Structure formats: structure tokens, C-alpha cells
A and B are shown apart, each in its own frame.
Chain A
Amino acid sequence: MSAIDDVFRELRAGGRKAFMPFVTAGDPDLEFTALVLVELARRGANLCELGIPYSDPIADGPVIQASYTRALARRVKLAQIFEMVGRERARLPIPIVTMVSYAIALRHGPADYVREAKAAGIAGMIVPDLPADESEQLAGICRGEDFSLVQLVAPTTPRERALRIARTSSGFLYYVSVTGITGERAALPQDLLDNVRWLREQTELPICVGFGISRPEHVRALAPVADGLIVGSAIVRRVAEAATRPRGQVLREVGDYVAELVGALG
């Protein structure tokens, strides 16, 4: 059991849903990322996804790609990211989940990655390019460390396969709302609610929906069927403004935006 399980148990007991923002580690720099994490928690986020910048993120749209490119241009390293989380741990009352490409975890050594992330106080990982079929070894390592390995289900996933994936996921199950890459969308797919509702009945695991969510009306529509909602690009875009505008102001705007979405969650 990781800290993620505790959060969802508590939320479920209170009949509440999770809000999970995504931020890129090191954009515009790690000092600001630390401030953003603390602010997100203060404004009502229940967990936070921390994106580990990667040179070739094929699941990501232009906003997150560009943030990764900026962070890597400043030479942010995995060890520095873990250090930052470890340092801020005491001020961060919510679980942190890293979103990390398998290229990075593998080069680092999957067991070392999990051990070092856990030592920094990170509760789990999402590996967007490691489908359940290839994740057996990493899943074993994570189980041994009580570290969550969150699997993804996509709109293109056949239902039988979705059930298999749900059985291998821990912490929660990440439901990808759209067939496509990350990024804000005006409207979400018609059949999304039905698909999430169906999956919700098949597993005890909390189901969090992400990709394309950015507006209060998205949040209001999805809150009844999901256990949590993930918002990435809309936050990354706002955080990135800290490179050119007063940081205090940007931090406040990010916080206001998150508070608005948390409010819509009900």
C-alpha cells in the first residue's frame, strides 16, 4: 500500500473525488516547481503528477513537449528532481506520482529508480510508454517496495484487455479520455462517461481520467463517474509564464485556476 491508496480510501470514505494536477519538473526551474507543488496542495489538490522531462515524448502535445524541451535545455537531471522532492517533502502533504518515460527508468535501472524515488518520498509512477504487457518486471519491483505502478487504459483498449490492465495496476487506474495526445480540448468524447462508468463497475481500483481536461464543465461532467480528474497542459501552460512574468503573480493565478477546478469537483 502506498500513500496513494490512503488518499483514495479517505476520499471514498467521505464521498469525495480527487483532483490531480500535472506539472513538469524543472520548468522554468526546479525552485519554482517546488513552489508550485506546495501551492497546488494548499489550493486543494489531493495528489500531484510530476512530469520527468524526456527528449522524445510521443504521447504529449505541444504544451508539455515544449515544457520538457525547456527543462532539458536547462539540463535538469533526474537526481536533482528527486533531491527537490525530498527537500520539499515536509511541506508537501499530498502524494507525488512521477510520470516518466521508460527510456529514463530503464537507463537509471528500474530497481534503482523505484528505490531512489521512494527514498525521496515519491509514492508511485506512471510510465506512459510501458504497456501492461511489458511491465511485469517493473510491477514486481514496485510491489516489493510498496510503490504504486499506475497503468493506463485508452479509448482504443478492448474491454477484456482493460480488465487485464486493471488487475496489474496499483494506486489507481489512469483512464485516457481521448484517442490522441495530451492537450486542452473544447469538448470531450461523447462516449467517455459511459466508458468510465462501465470500467468503474469492473474494478475496486480508483479510476482517474486525464488528457484534454481543462474546464470546470469538464470537471462537473466527469466528477460523478470518476474517482479523480487529472489536468496537465492547462496548468503547465500557466506555470510556464513564470519564465517571463513575476513569479508571485503566476503562482497565484495557477492556484486560482486549480481552486476553480477543485470547486467544480463539488
Chain B
Amino acid sequence: MSSTTSHSSATTDVPDAAGRFGAFGGRYVPETLMRALDELVVAYDEAKKDERFAAELDELLRNYVGRPSPLYYAKRLSEQCGGAEIYLKREDLNHTGAHKINNTLGQALLTLRMGKRRVIAETGAGQHGVATATACARFGLTCVVYMGEEDIRRQKLNVFNMRILGAEVRPVTSGSRTLRDAINEAMRDWMASVETTHYILGSVVGPHPFPLIVRDFQSVIGRETVLQCRRQLGRLPNLVVACVGGGSNSAGMFYPFIEHEKVELLGVEAGGRSSQPGDHASPLSFGAPGVLHGSFSYVMQDEDGQTSDVHSISAGLDYPGVGPEHSFWKDSGRVRYTFARDDEALSAFDALARSEGILPALESAHAVAKAIEAARGRPRDEAIVVCLSGRGDKDAYEVARLRGEAIA
């Protein structure tokens, strides 16, 4: 797992048949789930070859989600930074308010192809839960969403919305009561329901083929951005920035840029309160390779292999692991990873609200923070694209609480 691997080794031709992105990925799950994973590999392969599948998904993305999402020049924010131009890829304008819907619609179509009628999902911030509940409502599928008790408290609005959409939200009270425990509980449900149920995993994590499938469905973000940059800027950007929890919006944004080697890619993890263990959620910056949730990737663990508790102000980034392709990109040097602390994310939340009239999700605010920092140090003729993965409405209560303001 050396970090000295040559830059050019980050290929787009991953994963292999065993689900390996270089050394990372694989399938570390109980035997009970193996057949369903094999069936999912086959169903996805067939779907990829089926023009009708692509056409149906395209139609949904266009007329139901509202794609393509705009690439917006944040003029006032850029001028305030006094350096490079900042562009926002507006995933926050998607139906349901985040990039998550790109994946859930694709996986809902796969669910139907496999003849399954029940869907389970985990959610942290609730964005993936809402996007899954939405896709299930759209296709008449039964939907159960696992969500940590701590996140239910932080994200009341999304919990309410999921229920309106007909989903059952099951509180998870084990462990740290956050995203990691929600994934454990969803996996346990799947262990017993695997013959009739599809697990719509919300990030590029988990056993093969989930990291592949989620990346592919999210790659619409990066593909559109490449085209929009060519059309609007007449060239590709110098730098692309996205936040990384499990890493789905960043994987979808980065993947189409991997082959464009001159474009710098920057992933931003949750730096939390400090760099002390337990105070952040930055496995790529501070963790080591290990196994969590069915995949070999960077993870926050103690010396015995027990998963460490992590912290982030943002429920969507509050996760001790990360997708295996990010680990692959990190070790190959193709993507650089850094972190933004809670207070930096909150400042960026305010800065974007006041300069552009856009409330970003706290997750996305981590990327905005590092884009602002980068823009300040770069010349005006450079262009930075930030993946604005979601909108901040869901975070209003939590931000108010942190500021000691009562709005409920």
C-alpha cells in the first residue's frame, strides 16, 4: 500500500472481475449474501448492455430529476476570494435536493429488473434515504430506511419527508447511532431478506459490485461537467473539488476526469473538531487500509481492527470508512485528499449563502471551504469546479442549534 506508486497507474479500467481497484475493494461479507451480489453483478452487466435501460434512466434523469444540473459561475464568491474563478456544479438543484437521486433511480430500475419488490437503504444525513424513498414511491416499491438515532435527531426534516413518501424509517440504536451503524443494520436486514429485497446502498462503499454501480450512476455528474466546461469555459478546469464521506458525489464527479491528467482533483474529508482520534472523519488523511462493511479500503480503526468512533458536524460525512476507489486514487496520487474542519465548513456555509444566495448542504460546504482556500492562492485565469452535492435546507435546524438559536 505504498504511496509512491506512479501517477499514471490510476486507470479508469477498474474494478476487475473480483471488484478490485488495485489492492482495494473486494467482497468481505457473509456467505449468505454472496449469491445476491453475484446476481447483482449479472443484472447490472445485462442492464448496461440494454439500450432501453439507458434510455429509461436518461428520461428519468432529464424529466424527473431535472438534469443536466447547471454549472454556475459563482461570480461574487470568486471576486471576494480575489483569485481563480469558482464554478458550482449544482447537484443541489436536483429533485430531492442532492446528487443521491442519480443512484437511487438507477438502482430502483435494477431492483425491478431483478424482480424484487422490497428495498432497504441506510442513510446518514437523510439525503440518500429521501432519494431512495422517492425512487420507491415512483416505482411502487416497499421501502425501509435504517437511520441512526443521532442522525434522526440531527435531520428531522428528512425523516418526516421519508415517511410522507411512504417509507418506514427504522431507528438504529446500536454503536455510535450514526451512518456506520445504519449500514450494519441494513446489512443484517439483507442477510434475512436477500431473496426478495434489494439493498440500495447510497455510497461507493460496501462489497463489489456496489462501489462500481454507485460510481457509474453518479458519473453523470462528471460527464456533464466535462461537457459544460468545454461549452462554457472553452476548456477543462484546473481543479475540481468535492467532499468525501463514503465518497459517491466525489467519485461521480472525479471518474470522468481521471483520464484528463492535467485536471487536478481534490477530495475533502470531514476534519471535525481536531486531528485527534475520534474528533474527525478523515480515513484517507489519518486512517490505514483495513476492512469495513465488506470492502478493503482506508478506515479509522484501532490497533485491534475495531472501527473507531468518528465525528463530523455533517451527518453525511460522519463515517469511518471510504469507498475503495478513493483509496486507489489516493495511493496512485491521481487525487489529492485533504480535510475541512467543522468551523471551516460553517464559514463556507455562510460565505456561499451571503455571496451567492445559495445554502449548501453542510457536506458540500466542506468542499466549498477548500475551493475558497484554493481560489485565493491561484491566478484569475484559473477555473475551479466545486461539486455542490446538496442543498442546505435539511441543515437549518442543526446550524441554528449550534448557534444557540431556536427556530423549531
Contact = CB atoms under 8 A, between A and B. Distances in A.
Given A56-B184, A107-B301, A156 B194 contact: yes
Contacts of B18: 133
B301 A103 contact: yes
A134 interface: yes
Contact of A102 (B28, B184, B194, B306): B28
B307 A55 contact: yes
A179 B184 CA distance: 16
- Chain B CB within 10 A, most for which of A54, A103, A134: A103
Interface string A153-195: 1111110010001000000000010111100000000000000
Interface stretch (B61-69, B103-111, B185-193, B388-396): B185-193
Contacts of A153: 31
A153 B305 CA distance: 25
A58 B305 contact: no
B5 interface: no
B75 interface: no
B34 A56 contact: no
A127 B304 CA distance: 15
Contacts of B180: 56
Given A152-B31, A157-B34, A176-B31, A56 B305 contact: no
A197 to B, nearest CB: 19
B195 A179 contact: yes
A69 interface: yes
B305 A77 contact: no
A156 B296 CA distance: 24
B32 A56 contact: no
A204 B312 CA distance: 52
Interface string A131-162: 11110000000000000000111111110010
A78 interface: yes
B191 A56 contact: no
Contacts of A161: 34-35
Interface in B70-89: none
B114 to A, nearest CB: 14
A65 interface: yes
B292 A134 contact: no
B30 interface: yes
Nearest to B34: A131
Given A55-B307, A179-B191, A102 B291 contact: yes
Contact of B187 (A54, A58, A103, A131): A58
A33 interface: no
B278 interface: no
A241 to B, nearest CB: 21
Interface residues of B, number: 34
Contacts of A69: 174-175
B22 interface: no
B195 A180 contact: no
A64 B35 CA distance: 25
B319 to A, nearest CB: 12
B39 to A, nearest CB: 10
A133 B303 CA distance: 26
B29 A58 contact: yes
B35 A129 contact: no
Contact of B305 (A107, A152, A158): A107
A245 B305 CA distance: 32
A53 B174 CA distance: 15
Contacts of B27: 131, 133-134
B31 A157 contact: yes
A199 to B, nearest CB: 13
A106 interface: yes
A138 to B, nearest CB: 12
B290 interface: yes
Interface in A69-113: 69, 72, 77-78, 101-108
Contacts of B34: 131, 133, 154, 156-157, 161
Interface string B290-327: 11111010000101111100000000000000000000
A130 interface: yes
A1 interface: no
A56 B186 CA distance: 12
Contacts of B192: 178-181
B31 A131 contact: yes
Interface string B166-186: 000000001100001000100
Given A107-B305, A131-B27, A58 B35 contact: no
Contacts of A61: 188
Given A56-B180, A102-B291, A106-B290, 19 more contacts: A56-B293, A58-B191, A101-B305, A103-B292, A103-B306, A106-B291, A107-B304, A108-B304, A108-B305, A129-B28, A129-B294, A154-B30, A156-B34, A156-B35, A179-B191, A180-B32, A180-B191, A181-B188, A181-B192
Interface of A: 54-61, 65, 69, 72, 77-78, 101-108, 128-134, 151-158, 161, 165, 176, 178-181
Interface of B: 18, 26-36, 174-175, 180, 184, 187-188, 191-192, 194-195, 290-294, 296, 301, 303-307
26 contacts: A55-B306, A55-B307, A56-B175, A56-B293, A58-B191, A58-B293, A58-B294, A59-B191, A61-B188, A69-B174, A102-B28, A103-B28, A103-B292, A103-B301, A107-B305, A131-B27, A131-B31, A133-B27, A152-B31, A154-B31, A156-B31, A157-B34, A161-B35, A179-B32, A179-B192, A179-B194
